[in-house]
Structure 1
Amino acid sequence: MRILLIGYGKMGKTIEQMALAKGHQIAGTIDHTNAETLQNYSPANTDVAIEFTHPEAAFANISYCLTQGIPVVSGSTGWLDRYSEAVDLCQENKGAFFYASNYSVGVNLFFHFNEYIASKMQAYRDYSVSIREIHHLQKVDKPSGTGITTAEGILASYPTLQGWAADDNSNKSKLNIISEREPDVVGTHIVTYESEVDKIELGHIAHSRSGFAEGALMAAEWLKDRQGVYGMKDMLNL
């Protein structure tokens, strides 16, 4: 399979190593230094694109792939205010688009369990619920996309909460997401239910980026020859 890597930072380079080890070809690599070369890629030389870039570049990259007929797997966060536009583009062009805020299989099991626990805990109103996410200092967006997805999983069972709030523990009508940035932290997410008498926590701690890269490569292999909009629940049958 010929894979175009859009975004050639730590994640892109990890995916490249895994892809080559599995016998795939790298059609090309694109970062901020050669972004204009994206127009050189088409289904004639690319089977699938894997896109991990910055929020301000993600939608344009995804749009190009969808309009050109290149299946695209994206893990960029911070651009989801335009997600519905990407879905429309995919449908209009009969394309293939796979999006996840986090490609780790373990994280997606965490999402699944998070939704289940929230559906049970909402009946016990003595417990307040909050989310804490910790990442490396270079992470641009706050809260993380994974933190937001975690919040959405909880909010589905908490109609009394009016959305989520970033680092605002004073607003009791919203689900608080606490964001911390520390050196050399790959990604930690913890959901806490706390009452006056006890505390219940569900957490996921990533030890390396390899789990994210492996999941993104799995998604690229799964997406090839498919049409439509997909996510990790589809691939993992959750």
Structure 2
Amino acid sequence: MRIALIGYGKMGKTIEGLAEKAGHSIVLKTNEEPTHSMLIDARPDVAIEFTKPEAAYKNINILLRSNIPTVCGTTGWTDKLPEIQDKIDRYNSSFLYASNFSLGVNLFFAIAQQTARMMKDHKLYDVSIEETHHTEKLDAPSGTAITLAEKIMLESSYEFWELNGDKKDKTIPIHAFRIDDVPGKHVIKYESYHDAIELKHTAFSREGFALGALKAAEFIHDKKGVFTMKDVLGM
């Protein structure tokens, strides 16, 4: 498989190493906005996009217009996701976005939703989310924390989330911390006056995320449509 890496930072380099070990070819790696001619020359089968929130939307548009199946792991831009979904239909292309590609985190999403279903009638408990990442992560809260909040809201009376907010009716507070060399930690806490229940996922390295992104690329490269990690993992 011929892969274009749009975003060649620490994550891009980790994906490159895993891809080459798996027998794939990296035919393009860039930190610049890709151009149509650049993509035609490289002839990738699939692109993996890990850049910055302000760059992702433009990059994805160019990739889809060039009919290149695209896997995106950049967070902080998804208010424009409905526009991208419309363009996938227009260009007959394929796209997969995930706030987190880790297998463990995607299982954690399912656990969070199931727990929220169990806790919804126990009004003594207030829920909150904490997320901790490395200082190079630009967006806050993390896309993973937002997804966790959305999973909880699906199964409860909560309707909103708020960054660094206080506990209040119908709103889930999300507290974001940035510490050197922390790949990612997410904690869901249900707390009453009497006790607390915590669910936690801790990433030990970037390799878990990179491996998931590579699996997503292997899954999507010969397909059309919009997909999620649930499709990749058969969940």
TM-score category by the smaller chain?
Answer: over 0.9
Deviation at 1:44, TM superposition (A): 7.0
Match of 1:221 among 201, 218, 222: 218
CA distance in 2, matches of 1:78, 1:38: 25
Which string of whole-angstrom CA distances, capped at 9 and with x for unpartnered residues, describes residues 152-174 of structure 1?
00011123x23100001154431
- Equivalence for 1:14: 14
Match of 2:46 among 48, 54, 57: 48
Say yes or no: does 1:210 pair with 2:211. Answer: no
Query: More displaced, 165-174 or 19-28?
Result: 165-174
Q: 1:118 to 1:39 in 2, by over 3 A?
A: farther
Q: 1:110 to 1:137 in 2, by over 3 A?
A: same
What TM-score comes out, normalization by structure 1 length? 0.95
SS in 2 for 1:168: coil
- Equivalence for 1:178: 175
Q: Is the 8 A contact 1:43 1:69 kept in 2?
A: no
- Equivalence for 1:191: 188
Q: 1:126 to 1:171 in 2, by over 3 A?
A: closer
CA distance in 2, matches of 1:55, 1:215: 20
- Equivalence for 1:61: 59
SS in 2 for 1:153: helix
Query: What fraction of aligned residue pairs are identical, expressed as a percent?
Result: 47
SS in 2 for 1:112: helix
Which string of whole-angstrom CA distances, capped at 9 and with x for unpartnered residues, describes residues 34-65 of structure 1?
x3556410397110000000000001111111
- Equivalence for 1:148: 146
Q: Is the 8 A contact 1:133 1:187 kept in 2?
A: yes
SS in 2 for 1:50: strand
Count residues with an aligned counterpart: 235
What TM-score comes out, normalization by structure 2 length? 0.96
Which string of whole-angstrom CA distances, capped at 9 and with x for unpartnered residues, describes residues 89-131 of structure 1?
1111111101100000000000011110011111111000000
Structure 2 counterpart of 1:20, which letter? E
CA distance in 2, matches of 1:199, 1:221: 41
Deviation at 1:25, TM superposition (A): 0.4
Structure 2 counterpart of 1:201, which letter? E
- Equivalence for 1:130: 128
CA distance in 2, matches of 1:152, 1:21: 36
Q: Is the 8 A contact 1:20 1:26 kept in 2?
A: yes
CA distance in 2, matches of 1:130, 1:190: 8
Deviation at 1:210, TM superposition (A): 0.1
Structure 1 spans left out of the alignment, 5+ residues: none
Correspondence 1:95-110 to 2 at 5 A: 95-110=93-108
Deviation at 1:187, TM superposition (A): 0.1
